[in-house]
Amino acid sequence: MPAAIELHGICKRFRSLGGRPSTTLKSAALELVRGRRQRARERFTALRDIDLTVEAGRALGIVGANGSGKSTLLKLVAGIYRPDSGTLRVRGRVAPLIELGAGFHPELTGRENVVINGIILGLSQREVRRRLDAIVEFAGMREFIDAPARTYSSGMYMRLGFAVAVHLDPDVLLMDEVLAIGDEAFTRKCADRFAEFRRLGKTMLLVGHEAAAVERWCDEAVWLDHGVIRAHGAPHKVIDLYRQAMSEQESDALARSYEQPMPSITVAGATSEARDRWGTGEIEIERVRLDDTYGHERYVYTSGEPVTIRFAYRVRRPVDSPVFGFAIVRNDGLWVYGTDTTLAKVAVPALGTAGEVKVTIDALGLVAGRYVVDVSVHAADGTPYDYHSRRYPFSVRDDVAERGVAKVHHRWHIVPDAVSGHP
């Protein structure tokens, strides 16, 4: 079977906003009068040298960060943009499901809008009329179809737009992040429809932040990064690579907040600008970092991984029996856990003038989310020498979307036919 979509050496550049020529006649005329030459058009490359073939009947998912060129690729295949170079061939009728309900007119009824939208998307008048009932039925809008579209909720708008799109009877379906619309019943209907498309051997191109959708629906996946294909292959492999790169990127971004210059130490409440650091300053905490099990600095962890919190201290004036503490706080302020050397019954040796503290967490039992670490050193009576609050963020990822905060270690035993609670 011939390929449904073929791209060879596709490049697409956009004029970037900064280098845009005048957008009004007035400014164009002014530029002319002042003799200012139009700035050379700065161009931004959205796609670079893309080679991609999708066999007929295959579903290809495209993952990538915002601005990686996913939507541009989709619009090229849809025929909305034209490539600057390279060749592009699409066989069969294309249904672009790019932002649904485009062109719905608020004053017209749902029925009228369906007819117009269907024709704009390439159906003939007769084809639309024949499918009208099925479309209305699919959208679940029988009672409202003769009311003007301005009375619709945004959900109804989307549902109707989607219903039109999936009834186009296309050979190639292009989808831009539209799987997550409507309520559960509607989502299931969409899923059925996709399954049917797959059975009928339609070619699909799916773009999404939702890697899960790509994993579920696609035979193969492509990872786009800054306009270049970084990986192409089985969905789970591509998505693993993509996720790994994303967490590395996030970790680097988080690391930057650890490098920010520390505010000088102040007595609690003395100044307002030092809200993330206070204390009397006998002992100061200097460099805080999180290390993974290999001793590499890292700020994105998978739930259950070991983590080490490390920080250096410097003694300014020797004190008796200092206490070190740490806490983990969720980014919405929820206190997850806090302890110190006294509570943990750890004997603090003589500190000397400087040194390092390491707290090793064997398994980071947290549900996926964003957290911060607080670290402190204080006197036995609780007077802080140096307290660093909400300065050190990290992120926890997980394959499963569990609820709550703490990942409570547990096992399940399901025992059928047990007569009482204890066999």
Partner 1 sequence: MTRAFKELLAYREILLILIWRDLKTRYRGSVLGFLWTFLNPLLLMIIYSLVFSVYMRVEIHAYPIFVFAGLLPWIWFSSAMLSGASSVVDSGTLIKRVPFPPQILPAVSVTAALVNFVLAVPLLLVFMVAWGLPIGWSLLMLPLSIAIQYVFTLGLTIVLSMLTVRYRDLQQLLANVLTLWFFVTPVLYPTTMVPARFQALLMLNPMAILVGSFQDALYGAQVPSLWPLMLVAVLAVAVLGVALAVSDRMRWGLAEEI
Binding footprint of partner 1 on the chain (CB under 8 A):
14-15, 21-26, 28, 75, 78-82, 94, 96, 98-99, 102-103, 105, 107-108, 112, 115-116, 119-121, 124-125
Q: Which residue has the tokens 């791209």?
A: 7
- Closest by Cα among 223, 117, 230, 240 to 168: 117
Minimum distance of partner 1 from residue 13's CB (angstroms): 10
Please return the burial class of 351, using the count of CB atoms within 10 Å of its CB with bins 0-12, 13-18 and 19+.
middle
| Collapsed DSSP state (helix, strand, coil) of residue 83 | coil
Nearer to partner 1, 77 or 231 (CB): 77
Nearer to partner 1, 102 or 418 (CB): 102
Minimum distance of partner 1 from residue 76's CB (angstroms): 10
Minimum distance of partner 1 from residue 128's CB (angstroms): 9
| Exposure string over 140-175, b if 16+ CB within 10 A, otherwise e | bbeebbeeebeebeeebbbbbbbbbbbbbebbbbbb
Nearer to partner 1, 126 or 317 (CB): 126
- Closest by Cα among 394, 369, 389, 391 to 291: 394
Minimum distance of partner 1 from residue 80's CB (angstroms): 5
Nearer to partner 1, 23 or 153 (CB): 23
Nearer to partner 1, 46 or 329 (CB): 46
Nearer to partner 1, 158 or 288 (CB): 158
Minimum distance of partner 1 from residue 30's CB (angstroms): 12
Q: Are 246 and 253 in contact (CB under 8 A)?
A: no
Minimum distance of partner 1 from residue 82's CB (angstroms): 4
Minimum distance of partner 1 from residue 190's CB (angstroms): 19
Between helix 154-166 and helix 184-199 the angle, nearest 10°, is 10
User: How many CB atoms are closer than 10 A to CB 265?
Assistant: 21
CA–CA gap between residue 96 and residue 78 (Å, rounded):
6
Nearer to partner 1, 178 or 231 (CB): 178
C-alpha dist (Å) from residue 233 to 27, 223, 316: 49, 9, 58
